[in-house]
Structure 1
């Protein structure tokens, strides 16, 4: 998933989320920091939230059943995977993928997992810290292989 894909996805969910929370267009516009006119244009598919607006919608309404059902409930991880694409970063500790994740490979405590809804991949270290995220399965497997090769050899 690219930034453009994510923005388009969030544009399409805006009205559903607004309705789910029982917000008027006026109130939703205030929450998102946009004008009512812009919100109306987005809901009519004439304008877009853009990356920043899409991230704001996902973050503010991360508890939305509409968004959780459509993404597997891990919006932060999806945003991180997109935002840090091609950028190396030290990620914080996760819950270890107990919900919405399928473990594809588990070696020496490193786990390659795929989100059951968004289908993106991540690698967790033995302490459940995300060390890599991507939507590319080959890239995920390559990075896991590199990590395993860097481990000290057992005697």
Structure 2
């Protein structure tokens, strides 16, 4: 995924996200930090949200079902991957990837998974904490080999 695709998804679903959360256009504009006119233009498909607005929407509504369905999980994780390419650090506990993830490899409770929608990779530890994420398949495989050797 790239920025343009993320912006497109968020822009196309802004109205749905707003309505699911029972916000008026005025309240949405205030929360996101843009004008009501800007919200109206995005919702009518006349313009796309900019990158900053997109990040704000994803951060504020990171638990929104519509965004989760379009991104295959936490939209902020997708943004983080788009900006950083690779993330290597213990992160939040996940549910283990039973819905939108395909297990590629498993070793002593650790899992290499690929998201069915966004196609990015992640490695979970034995307690389902995300340790690593990337869109790069080669980097994911290299990291997985290191984990198999270490554990």
- TM-score bracket for this pair, using the shorter chain length: 0.7 to 0.9
Give the alignment's TM-score, normalised by structure 1: 0.78
Q: TM-score, normalized by length of structure 2?
A: 0.80
Give the equivalent residue in structure 1 for 2:55.
55
Please give the per-residue CA displacement for 1:77-126, whole angstroms capped at 9, x wherever unaligned.
Answer: 3233223214x542324223344322110124431111233322111234
Task: List runs of 5+ in structure 1 lacking aligned partners.
Answer: none
Contact 1:120–1:135 (8 Å) recurs in 2: yes
Moved over 4 A (4+): none
Structure 2 Cα separation of the partners of residues 139 and 30 of structure 1: 40
Match of 1:94 in 2: 93
Match of residue 15 from structure 1: 15
- 1:29 is displaced (CA, Å) by 0.7
Conserved? CA contact 2:120–2:134, under 8 Å: yes
Q: Which has the larger radius of gyration?
A: 1
RMSD (Å), alpha carbons: 2.4
Go from structure 1 to structure 2 and tell me whether the alpha carbon gap of 1:91 and 1:6 turns closer, same or farther (over 3 Å shift): farther
Aligned residues: 150
Report the Cα offset of residue 127 of structure 1: 4.4
For 2:28 and 2:92, locate their aligned partners in 1 and report how far apart those are by CA, in whole Å: 32
Residue 118 of structure 1 aligns to a residue whose secondary structure is coil
Q: Which residue of 2 aligns with 1:76?
A: 76
Q: In 1, Cα distance between the equivalents of 2:2 and 2:143?
A: 20
**CA contact under 8 A between 1:93 and 1:127: conserved in structure 2?**
no
2:111 alignment partner in structure 1: 111
Residue 32 of structure 1: how far off its partner (Å): 1.0
